[in-house]
Amino acid sequence: MFPDLPEKKAFIPAVIGAGICLFIFRSGFLSLFFLVPLGYVGFRFDYIIALAAWLFAALGNAVLAMGVLAFNGLPVLNAGWDLLYFAAMSLVFTLIIAPPPSLAAMADGAFRLIAGSCIVAIIFTGIFFHSLSLPGFSGYVDSLIKSLISMYRSSGTDVVQIAQIETLNPDGILDTVKSVMLRGGSLVSCIFLYALSRQVSLLILRLPFRRTAPASPGSDSSAAASFKTPSHENFTLAFFHVNPILIWVFSAALLLVVLTRILRMQIPEIILWNILVLCVILYLAQGLGIIQFLLSRSSLSPFLKLGLTFLMVFLLFSPFLNMLLLGGFFILGIIENWVPLRALKKNAPPSTPEAGDDV
């Protein structure tokens, strides 16, 4: 019923990965990448080691958080919501990267990422609204606004811009943030964090490190069994395809969003906005996959391909231009519903990753 557990020393990578994860999470500067160590462990080792790394990280984070509160004379129960966020976010990511065999058989990589993002987005939104109810939260936002105004004044910013910033008020900002989060903002942030962490983990995995377990006669067989040659690193968006029926879901959601907005039906509108945002993300991924596919099979030199890749990254971080680029990817993804832009949609060679396993 239960899998055979490897020897104790096989869990050393889990301890190291958990420690690096906690260091990054608590660093502040690099906290956006706190899931990357867990992703590396999940790709490099089996699901038992990956889940062990998550467990060590969650327990370590609980000890650190409650220890800080106790040191400052505050109730340790105040850390509950923070612990829930870290545990849920890291557990879902671990199951996306290294699922148990039963979960992997039921849901492919794309479905796990989307479903996991939806679950964590709900939890994240709940934590945010709980924070709004705490006393002093509005005052904290007000202090941030005042600090921003002071910074702009000291930097010699235009008087008109300073006057516009001074018109901001905490209630208006919080209302805007709530509206954006409920209408897909939380979902977008979770998908972005998971996708970014996954890609960075794969990037690190491709570095020229040792790829196979020690195979000497005297080596520990249990440690070797927990070590795997990662096949996940071959998964690319070039073979990601959206189900054609999604175009009808997108069209219906777009129409119903306008209708519920006119009729002021807030709850259905929020649900439809999240469906609409999810459809847009999937078509963006498909459009980017088309570009990757065409570049991988073009006759351009590797230097030109690398240059085009850096150009796209530069455009993604350029104001206004990034909107045009993302819009182009989205339209390209939709066009493929009617125009076969990729020749190898079906009957791909055995070495090709499954279409549904990548996001």
Residue 355: pLDDT band (50, 70, 90) is very low
Helix (H, G, I), strand (E, B) or coil at 312: helix
Residues 223-239, mean pLDDT to the nearest whole number: 52
First to last CA, the chain: 32
Residue 77 has pLDDT above 80, yes or no: no
Tens digit of each residue's pLDDT (9 = 90 or more) over 342-353: 865 444 444 444
Residue 277: pLDDT band (50, 70, 90) is very high
Phi, psi of 230 (to 5 degrees): -70, 120
What is the per-residue pLDDT for 252?
Answer: 95
Residues 4-27, mean pLDDT to the nearest whole number: 85
What's the longest Cα–Cα distance across the chain?
A: 75
Structure-block tokens of residue 346: 């079906």
What is the per-residue pLDDT for 4?
Answer: 58
Residue 321: pLDDT band (50, 70, 90) is confident
Sign of the alpha-carbon dihedral angle for 288, 200, 185, 357: positive
Q: How many residues does the chain have?
A: 359
Nearest alpha carbon to residue 128 among 89, 80, 186: 186
Residues 30-41, mean pLDDT to the nearest whole number: 92
| C-alpha 93, offset from chain centre | 8
Structure-block tokens of residue 267: 């709850």
Residue 48 has pLDDT above 80, yes or no: yes
**Distance (Å, whole) CA 326 – CA 168:** 30
Q: Which amino acid is at 311?
A: L
What is the per-residue pLDDT for 214?
Answer: 44
Helix (H, G, I), strand (E, B) or coil at 238: helix
Phi, psi of 103 (to 5 degrees): -70, -40
What is the per-residue pLDDT for 154?
Answer: 67
Tens digit of each residue's pLDDT (9 = 90 or more) over 234-275: 456 777 888 889 999 999 999 999 999 999 899 999 999 999
pTM over 0.75: yes
What is the per-residue pLDDT for 7?
Answer: 67
What is the per-residue pLDDT for 314?
Answer: 79
Residue 165: pLDDT band (50, 70, 90) is low
Residue 29: pLDDT band (50, 70, 90) is confident
Q: Residue written as tokens 């998550």?
A: 54
Indicate the domain borders of the chain. 1-209+222-230, 235-359
Helix axes 137-154, 159-166, angle to 10 degrees: 170
Residue 306 has pLDDT above 80, yes or no: no
What is the per-residue pLDDT for 246?
Answer: 93
Structure-block tokens of residue 233: 């690193």
Residue 357 has pLDDT above 60, yes or no: no
What is the per-residue pLDDT for 334?
Answer: 93
- Whether the CB-CB separation of 93 and 41 falls below 8 Å is answered with no
Q: What is the DSSP string of 151-185?
A: HHHHTT--HHHHHHHHT--HHHHHHHHHHHIIIII
Could you tell me what percent of the chain has a pLDDT over 90? 35
Could you tell me what percent of the chain has a pLDDT over 70? 77
Q: Which residues does residue 227 pair with via DSSP β-bridges, in sequence order?
A: 45
What is the per-residue pLDDT for 90?
Answer: 95
Residue 5 has pLDDT above 70, yes or no: no
Tens digit of each residue's pLDDT (9 = 90 or more) over 108-136: 888 899 999 999 999 989 888 887 777 76
Structure-block tokens of residue 164: 């516009």
| Helix locations, 298-339, DSSP H | 302-316, 321-335
What is the per-residue pLDDT for 177?
Answer: 84
Give the DSSP letter of residue 242.
-
**Distance (Å, whole) CA 282 – CA 290:** 12
Nearest alpha carbon to residue 354 among 146, 108, 100: 108
Residue 195 has pLDDT above 50, yes or no: yes
Nearest alpha carbon to residue 289 among 246, 344, 232: 344
Residue 225 has pLDDT above 80, yes or no: no
Lowest mean pLDDT among 26-35, 263-272, 313-322: 313-322
Residue 211: pLDDT band (50, 70, 90) is very low
